[in-house]
Amino acid sequence: MNSKQTAYSILELALISKGQSVQQTYANSVKLAQKAEELGYTRIWFAEHHNMMAVGSNAPTVLIGHIAEMTSVIRVGSGGVMLPNHSPLVVAEQFGTLGNLYPNRIDLGLGRAPGTDRDTALAIKSDFLQASHSFPNDVEQIQMLFSKQNESAKVRAVVAEGVEVPIYILGSSTDSAHLASKKGLPYAFASHFATAYLDEALAIYRSQFKPSVDLDSPYVIAGVNVIIADTDAEAKRLFTSSLRMIIGMFTGKRDYLNPPTEMTSDLEEIIQHPQIQNMIKYSFIGSKETVKEKVKAFLEQTQADELIVSTNVYDVNDRLYSVERFSEVMREMNNI
């Protein structure tokens, strides 16, 4: 049984609902962050994706600054910056700037995937495959650029030196677990869509973890999808928006996030497809009590220190409702 206090946070993709402007989407992200702050969420992270109609978080650094300005205490960060798309120097300068503007509130989550399809990755950076292989070295370079020891270097990110911006390694496979453990950094696993290697990756990370100046012991953040409504049936109905987006990813039919529909027998059948099942394995959909039982089981399985929650529903009010109910679930489980 998981008996420790478990932090809870939000992963935000700034999903663009059909019929809604990008500006309204960002306004909804502000509402979400402010509600999360009010409810005791630890952090809100923005994920970098490209060439997806429904995803508005293409430039996490810009959104991080905007959300940090519109909130007071909640941590704001990247979940993550896809490092192969960027120069380590520029990343250090950007997050050093944010760290100075919003002290002790900015997180830098780093991932090694491009966050898009191959053609778009090539458009971002022609050598993206080579860049992904240099991920460990690029992480080390960013760490050096943030250190006071870099003051004597020829190449400096002056605004970053000595600034407190924690680095997190993001991953969806065992490779990232080896890197996070070797560097003694906190580890965020993308189990909200990549479920196959979760247990193996966490076992590697914990067993091989080497304490560092950044972290004394392993710290695991696990991603889950959560939709809470008054009833299981209503939650399933809201889930159809996200489900159709997932189906569109597999079929190449890109679209905005569509309004929910009834959960038809056809959709129920599609859910049983192994590829879909693999993606939604850690999707907790239902009433508050239903979700609470699923979260308990997940925490018993993973012993995660923190859950980071993605709630992909069409209407912002349904999302705010789910976020509030989930905070109640976590407070009850933490006996607060």
Q: Is 110 helix (H, G, I), strand (E, B) or coil?
A: strand
- Tell me, yes or no, whether 170 lies in a domain: yes
- Tell me, yes or no, whether 279 lies in a domain: yes
The whole model's pTM is what? 0.95
- Tell me, yes or no, whether 181 lies in a domain: yes
Helices (H), strands (E): how many in the chain? 13, 9
How far is Cα 9 from Cα 1, in angstroms, rounded to an integer? 21
The DSSP string of 300-312 is HHH--SEEEEE--
Q: Could you report the average pLDDT of every consecutive run of 10 residues in the chain (336 residues)?
A: 81 97 98 98 95 93 98 97 94 98 98 76 70 87 97 96 98 95 98 95 98 97 98 97 92 92 92 92 98 98 98 98 98 88
Q: Are 260 and 237 within 8 A, CB to CB?
A: yes
User: What's the pLDDT tens digit per position in 298-322?
Assistant: 999 999 999 999 999 999 999 999 9
User: What's the pLDDT tens digit per position in 178-237?
Assistant: 999 999 999 999 999 999 999 999 999 999 999 999 999 999 999 999 999 999 999 999
Q: Write out the residue range of the structural domain in which residue 240 sits.
A: 7-333
User: The domain that contains 177 carries what CATH number?
Assistant: 3.20.20.30
Structure tokens at 156: 């400096």
Indicate the number of domains in the chain. 1
- Tell me, yes or no, whether 171 lies in a domain: yes
How far is Cα 61 from Cα 2, in angstroms, rounded to an integer? 34
Cα–Cα separations (whole angstroms), residue 22 to 34, 53, 182? 19, 11, 40
Among the listed residues 230, 239, 246, 276, the one whose alpha carbon sits nearest the alpha carbon of residue 261 = 239
- Tell me, yes or no, whether 1 lies in a domain: no
- Tell me, yes or no, whether 2 lies in a domain: no
